[in-house]
Amino acid sequence: MSGDGVGRLAGKVAVVVGAGQTPGETIGNGRATAVLFAREGARVVAADRVLASAEETRELIEASGGEAVALEVDVRDEASIERLVADVVARWGRIDVLHNNVGIGAGDNNALDLDEKAWHRIMDVNLMGTWLTCKHVIPVMREHGGGAIVNVSSIAAVCAAPLLTYKVSKAGVNALTHQLAMDHAGAGVRVNAVMPGLIDTPMAIEGVSAAFGLDRGELRASRDKMVPLGRHQGTAWDVAHAALFLASDEARFITGVVLPVDGGQSARIG
């Protein structure tokens, strides 16, 4: 076990899909989750379309004494997911935790200005990709008596959002989570989601400021103001800790839950 963890995932094999990150000055949700899972004793598969970025995550984990391997996968390509799952099973024999972090929004727009190609690209990555990893990992979990899946959604799924495809894809992730939870509860496979609100990650700050020509400081300040709890965005560690709980045996009686990690933002609709 590495770092300060107490072994909440000791003995488990965890596959984090989207474990690399958009370059930037803060840590991303996927990378933080992979690092935290390893710190809590999991052997971590850091999988990403960008292998070099997954390798950086592996290096971070190994530098703090954890065990990880970096593997390439493109969640739009079913054959590449099949290869990933076969590789993990050949290497470590089982998969106890699947964390689906991959999500994109670039090129999205409102319903009237949205381009059809952008719609398909975002739906394929965010929704189809999440389904496909579950499709190939769940049989492995069922064979070994169960497992835990954590899907990364967004409060965009339930709040008004300016970007249509991202919202619809994340609403789909919530529905997928509910359905898979019901379908596989009898086999001990738990399926939950975290629903992050405004999180200070490179995808949200560097990515959005570059796409829309915004000043990073002003973007941060405008996002901070929208968060009820402390008027401050969350960090990737907030998302990672929620995912850790849902992935761990502490959540053994919890399935089909979509957990907001949003400083209270979605409580407005409650």
Catalytic residue numbers, as ranges: 166
From 46-54, 82-90, 107-115, 182-190, give the range in contact with ligand NAD by CB under 6 A.
46-54
Among 177, 201, 255, 265, the residue binding ligand NAD under the rule CB under 6 A is 201
Single out the residue of 53, 255, 265, 266 in contact with ligand NAD (rule: CB under 6 A).
53
Residue with smaller CB distance to ligand NAD, 25 or 186: 25
Q: If we measure between CA atoms, which residue out of 194, 167, 191 comes closest to residue 181?
A: 191
- Residue 204 found at the interface with ligand NAD (CB under 6 A): yes
Which of these, 177, 138, 131, 188, lies nearest to 154 by C-alpha position? Answer: 177
Q: For residues 125-144, which are near ligand NAD according to CB under 6 A?
A: 125, 129
Select the residue whose beta carbon is closest to ligand NAD and give its number.
Answer: 103
3-state secondary structure of 200: coil
Rule CB under 6 A: choose which of 75, 95, 98, 243 binds ligand NAD. 75
Q: In whole angstroms, what is the distance from residue 66 CA to residue 111 CA? A: 45
User: What pairing do the DSSP bridges indicate for beta strands 147-152 and 189-196?
Assistant: parallel
CB atoms < 10 A from the CB of 225, how many? 11
What is the CB neighbour count within 10 angstroms for residue 3?
14
> Which residues make up the interface to ligand NAD (CB under 6 A)?
18, 20-22, 28-30, 48-50, 53, 73-76, 101-104, 125, 129, 152, 154, 196, 198-199, 201-204, 236
